Amino acid sequence: MIGTLFLLNAEAGAESGFGFNFDIIETNLINLGIIFVLLIVYGGKVVGNILSERRAKIEAEIRSAEARAQESKDALAVAQKNLKEAQDNAVKIRSQAETNAEKAKSAVLAKGQKEVERLKASADADLNSEQERAIAQLRSRVVAMALERVESRMGEVLNDDKQRQLIDRSIAKLGE
């Protein structure tokens, strides 16, 4: 089509020379043809540049969004790892606390048991001591009573001669 337009234009220029063509229909077709050619040649480049710039911006935004998404995934993974470590640490601390509580409970019970045993032993010792003191007191009373009785009977049963013989025999036994 463009070739025919140039051919028609060349024929018209040859017949009349160079000049103005005032025929509206012919000039509009030629002008429209020239405008279409210019639009296709230069407009294609401009539109191509605009589209390539737009495409580059879109690609950059997509890459940026993908990078942010990856960073978010990485941050989520780190947060989940930290959460898992914190949960494990909490379980470990709770386990240690329970173990320590059991040890403390056992230690307190053992100490209490030792204290009870010590108090029992002390009470037994005090009781034995009191019992021995009471027995010793009773013995001394019994001995005192027995001596009183013996002395009273000796005065009745033994006279001076028998007392002397008893003393001499006792001294002789001591000398042996």
Question: 63 versus 130: which is more confidently predicted?
Answer: 63
pLDDT digits (tens, 9 = 90+) for 94-136: 999 999 999 999 999 999 999 999 999 998 888 888 888 889 8
Residue where the block lists tokens 């028609």: 8
For residues 12 and 21, the answer to whether their CB atoms sit within 8 Å is yes
Which 8-state DSSP code applies to residue 19?
-
pLDDT tens digits, 159-169: 777 778 878 88
Q: Is 21 helix (H, G, I), strand (E, B) or coil?
A: coil
pLDDT for position 163:
75
Q: Report domain extents, the chain.
A: 2-175
The residue ranking higher by pLDDT, 154 or 63, is 63
Q: Decide: 5 and 29 in contact? Cβ < 8 Å.
A: yes
